[in-house]
Amino acid sequence: MNTPPESRAWYRLNQHAAAQLPADFPDRVLRQLRLTRTEPRGAARLFLHPFAVSAYTAAFCFLLVVILHTRSTEETNARHLAQWHEVAMQTASLDPL
């Protein structure tokens, strides 16, 4: 059911959903989150740091670009070498030696 957020049906659905939850639901969720949340320790803290994750992502992207560029260059070189080989063979067939 795709109802626009401005419609009365959406408002009624929102009211019905709010009536299903107890009044202290957000407080209980946040309290439980604070109790069960654990900070990463040791090496996990270092490797899961946002800066480290960004660095890993950048290194992975750079490596991927280098690999793709290398493959593309090798394929282009092989194609050009085959074309030059064909030209050389045609030239050799014209040579009266």
Averaged pLDDT of the chain: 87
- pLDDT, position 9: 85
The mean pLDDT of 58-79, rounded to a whole number, is 97
Task: Give CA torsion, residues 67, 71, 74, 79, to 10 deg.
Answer: -160
Q: By the 8 A CB rule, do 33 and 25 touch? A: no
- pLDDT, position 14: 84
The mean pLDDT of 14-28, rounded to a whole number, is 89
pLDDT in tens, 37-68: 777 677 777 777 888 889 999 999 999 999 99
pTM of the shown model: 0.48
